[in-house]
């Protein structure tokens, strides 16, 4: 892994969503100076979300595929 353990931090939260189902959220944070070693930095245009998230059906289709074909990447 290109990062030392002290350069990364991750978190996980779970709870019941407004629809009554359990949901989980996680985040991974990497120190900016560690990203700069890889040629990345927060000022790059690609380091920010610039568009909308894919629609819900796209996520659902990806999850269905993952359950039907575990360990196999999707075809392009």
Reported as a single tens digit per residue, the pLDDT across 21-70 is: 998 988 989 888 888 888 777 677 665 666 787 788 888 888 888 888 76
Query: Above pLDDT 90, what percent of the chain?
Result: 13
Instruction: Spell out a b/e string for 22-53, using b for 16 or more CB atoms within 10 Å of the CB, else e.
Output: eeeeeeeeeeeeebeeeeeeeeeeeeeeeeee
- Give residue limits of the domains in the chain: 5-68
Q: Contact, 8 vs 29, CB < 8 A?
A: yes
Q: Are strands 22-30 and 8-16 parallel, antiparallel or unpaired?
A: antiparallel
pLDDT at 47 (0 to 100) = 58
The predicted-structure confidence for 6-35, as pLDDT tens digits, reads as follows 999 999 999 998 899 998 988 989 888 888
Asked if the model's pLDDT at residue 76 lies above 60, the reply is no
- The angle formed by the CA atoms of residues 28, 19 and 71, to the nearest 5 degrees, is 50
């Amino acid at each position: 892994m290109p990062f030392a353990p002290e350069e990364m931090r991750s978190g996980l939260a779970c709870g019941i969503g407004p629809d009554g189902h359990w949901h989980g959220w996680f985040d991974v944070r990497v120190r900016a100076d560690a990203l700069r070693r890889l040629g990345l930095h927060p000022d790059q245009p690609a380091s920010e979300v610039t568009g909308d998230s894919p629609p819900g059906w796209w996520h659902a289709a990806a999850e269905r595929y993952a359950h039907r074909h575990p360990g196999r990447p999707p075809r392009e």
